[in-house]
Amino acid sequence: AQTVTQSQPEMSVQEAETVTLSCTYDTSESDYYLFWYKQPPSRQMILVIRQEAYKQQNATENRFSVNFQKAAKSFSLKISDSQLGDAAMYFCAHNDYKLSFGAGTTVTVRA
């Protein structure tokens, strides 16, 4: 069974500062993908970033980057230069055949 754990139910960040969200997962597979999804108050699920387990290089998408530690089964998301529009719930997800989601982290951005 796959499990994804997000240990931080809530995080708060000052506008323009950096925040890091933690995620650990459990899998017996060697090839898989990891995702971070954003869910703003509108409820729409939006893909933020993806990482393939075979790739050593950490994925980046503009102000969003990950720190992927395969041996530790850790996949954290860093949001740099935080903006008010980054306020949302963020879900870590693991995908080898089906997506398994963590419980989510609510990010609040202070002006």
3-state secondary structure of 86: helix
Alpha carbons 19 and 11: distance in angstroms, whole number: 8
**Site mask, other proteins, residues 42-81, x = CB under 8 A?**
xxxx-x--x-x-----------------------------
Nearer to other proteins, 86 or 102 (CB): 102
Using the rule CB under 8 A, is 4 a contact of other proteins? yes
**Alpha-carbon span 76 to 21, nearest angstrom:** 5
CA 7/CA 75 separation, integer angstroms = 12
β partners of residue 93 = 35, 101
Q: In angstroms, rounded to a whole number, what is the distance separating the alpha carbons of residues 72 and 68?
A: 9
Tokens coding 6: 């997000």
Among 11, 58, 74, 99, binds other proteins (CB under 8 A): 99
Which of residues 97 and 111 has its CB atom nearest to other proteins in the complex? 97
Q: Considering only 20-28, 31-39, 61-69, 75-83, which stretch makes contact with other proteins by CB under 8 A?
A: 31-39
Q: Residue numbers of the site for other proteins (CB under 8 A)?
A: 4, 6, 9, 31-33, 35, 42-45, 47, 50, 52, 91, 95-104
